[in-house]
Amino acid sequence: MNGDSWRNLVAGEGQPICQGYICRNPQRTVRIRTYGKEGFLTIKTGRIGISRHEFEYSIPFEHAQQLLNCVCIHPLIGKKRFRIPWKNFTIEVDEFNGENLGLIVAEVELPDVNTVLEIPDWFGKEVSHDLRYRNSRLTVRPYCRWREMER
């Protein structure tokens, strides 16, 4: 991210997210997430370019909390998500905490890989193909362990 100007576009405090992984490998990830007071189970396939199939299911919040604490690989990922309307899209900005404090990532879900997006000037470098920025990788090698030149 280039500076903090994106914060001027945010309404509200953002939603807290806690997530952990039951399985994380290049072919599939299985994630448990609490988003505010909701729980989710998400299964993602391996990438095909910058896209992949994703299946997400709502689960009881209490079940999600138990799975995060007892089943998921630790450390867990903690972050706050902000949603910013942009043109005909929604930009999701994740501000990480814990071992990933200082990392802020913006993401836009595109309807297909050929969609053209006018990038806001406050976006930083493109990291879609950089594996280090995947949440599942941040549990293995958190941002606090990156050397300054890697950031």
Positions marked active-site: 21
CB 77 within 8 A of CB 68: no
Would you give the DSSP letter of residue 5? Answer: G
Distance CA(60)–CA(35), nearest Å, equals 11
**Closest by Cα among 138, 4, 151 to 78:** 138
d(C-alpha 93, C-alpha 55), whole Å: 21
Please state, as a whole number, how many other Cβ atoms lie within 10 Å of the Cβ of residue 33. Answer: 23
* Residues 127 and 106 sit within 8 Å (Cβ to Cβ): no
Q: What is the Cα–Cα distance from 47 to 134, expressed in whole angstroms?
A: 12
State the Cα–Cα distance between residues 124 and 144, nearest whole angstrom.
19
